[in-house]
Amino acid sequence: MFNKRTKIKELLASEKRNYEVTIMGWVRTFRNNQFIAINDGSTNNNLQIVTALGMLDDATLKRITTGACIKAVGDIIPSLGKGQKVELKATSIEILGDSDAEKFPLQPKKHSLEFLREIAHLRFKTNTFGAIFRVRHSLAFAVHKFFNDKGFVYLHTPIITASDAEGAGEMFKVTTLPLDGTAPKNDDGSINFKDDFFGRSTNLTVSGQLEGELAAMAFSDIYTFGPTFRAENSNTTRHLAEFWMIEPEVAFNDLEDNMNLAEEFIKYIIRYAMENNKEDLDFLAQRLEEEEKLKPQNDRSEMGLMEKLDFVVNNDFERLTYTEAIEILKESNHNKKKKFQYLIEGWGVDLQSEHERYLVEKHFKKPVILTDYPAAIKAFYMRQNDDGKTVAAMDILAPGIGEIVGGSQREERLDKLLKRMEEMHIPAEELHWYLDTRKFGSCPMQVLALALSDWCNL
């Protein structure tokens, strides 16, 4: 069998010595025609291969370049060098794939994120993106473990759909009709989708939450975890065209149950990554610290990466209403001295990231859960409160980001749901299937929406 190899992470973690192994990976550096630093992606740490002088011919030596892929067989022995416990004393080396040293863009030095964006197809080979994606993997695994252990049912909601759960209208369209202007038109000039694949206008999903509600009305506790798409024309770090969303839907829950589940979930997955990806998180924390030093003093984050994570895990989240938050922000020195880019002048405005971060980082100094938002700035399916102007919605705010989780209790009363849809000009006939859940055994229910990319930004 060709692939009878041991991963470098396993070798570096083991206390075993003086045994033969086979390793495969990519060359990071090669010096003095004798010392090869090799990495296989299982860890950011390299393993040093030592070759005896004269063991390799000149042709092979010239092919051991940065980026080349090699297979090495030899004995794991205690290392005489500093910074490493073991090294591999090679008995044979095979070149599996050459790399042109003069053309390979990832030389053994630190590269800026801007440069790595220009060579996105190669950036997985860097320590930075290696650490990020190993952490991302742990977070995704923890998502499934958390909900599985609680007895939730995992399901896939449609990626191609005719519904717009967010009501924003900023969607990627899906069609088989020609795009050269010859698609059939209606009398009013709009596209006639009669001959399209689905016979109607369709798009990539912005959320699976409405379909998720259908399943929650049968299984009680379900969650979705899949790709969602937003055609928002924005170049900010908070907006992505494609990202993965986690959306738990729970029957028989109210807003307080919603908040409790969200707080428990966030602490669980962050703690899981801290316990299983310490090496990667330490690396990313060091990189962030170095980048922060290059910023003007006023633009630097007050907390390092590990401090932010501890901050979320080890604090009970502060809970307050949107109305209380608006009053705090309105009376803050930041607002009075016009330090906010968007000044808070009154009730009803949609909070910006700067406002959310102020509440978390400056005022409460702990994660915050805001509840009971104005109905006018929220979606039609959120439960209307008795005051007639707010809905049972909640957002969790985290340091360095702002909103990291959104959720709400659903409007289970058919009459109020229909009235709200009418007010927002949402045709009831297009969501007849959704309204059936309120006709046949409706119950209190809550949903959360959480983007995996937000946690990676912490």
DSSP codes, 164-179: -TT------EE--S-S
The pLDDT, as a whole number, for residue 108 is: 85
What pLDDT, in 10s, does the model give residues 147-195? 999 999 999 999 999 877 655 458 899 999 999 989 999 999 899 999 9
Residues 359 and 368: beta-carbon distance below 8 Å: yes
**Percent over 90 (pLDDT), the chain:** 76
Same fold, 8-109 and 132-158+251-457: no
Instruction: Determine the distance from the C-alpha atom of residue 11 to the mean position of all C-alpha atoms in its chain, rounded to a whole number.
Output: 30
Residues 6+ apart with CB under 8 A from 61: 33
The pLDDT, as a whole number, for residue 399 is: 87
What value does the mean pLDDT of the chain take? Answer: 91
Sheet holding 368-374, edge to edge: 153-154, 221-229, 242-251, 445-451, 402-409, 390-398, 368-374, 318-321
Gap between the Cα atoms of 319 and 23, Å rounded: 52
452 vs 143, which has greater pLDDT?
143
**Percent over 70 (pLDDT), the chain:** 96
What pLDDT, in 10s, does the model give residues 210-235? 899 999 999 999 999 999 998 877 66
| Buried residues in 364-378 as b, exposed as e (16+ CB within 10 A) | bebbbbbbbbbbeeb
What pLDDT, in 10s, does the model give residues 369-423? 999 999 999 999 999 999 999 999 999 999 888 889 999 999 999 999 999 999 9
The pLDDT, as a whole number, for residue 142 is: 97
What pLDDT, in 10s, does the model give residues 241-264? 888 999 999 999 999 999 999 999
Candidate CATH numbers 3.40.50.1980, 3.40.50.2300, 3.30.930.10, 3.40.50.850; the one for domain 132-158+251-457: 3.30.930.10
HSE of 261 in the Cβ direction (CA atoms, 13 Å)?
Answer: 31
In this structure, what token pair is assigned to residue 429? 């006939």
CATH superfamily of 8-109: Nucleic acid-binding proteins (2.40.50.140)
3-state secondary structure of 291: helix
List the chain domain ranges: 8-109, 132-158+251-457
The pLDDT, as a whole number, for residue 267 is: 96
The pLDDT, as a whole number, for residue 294 is: 83
The pLDDT, as a whole number, for residue 235 is: 62
The pLDDT, as a whole number, for residue 386 is: 94
Residues 6+ apart with CB under 8 A from 150: 221
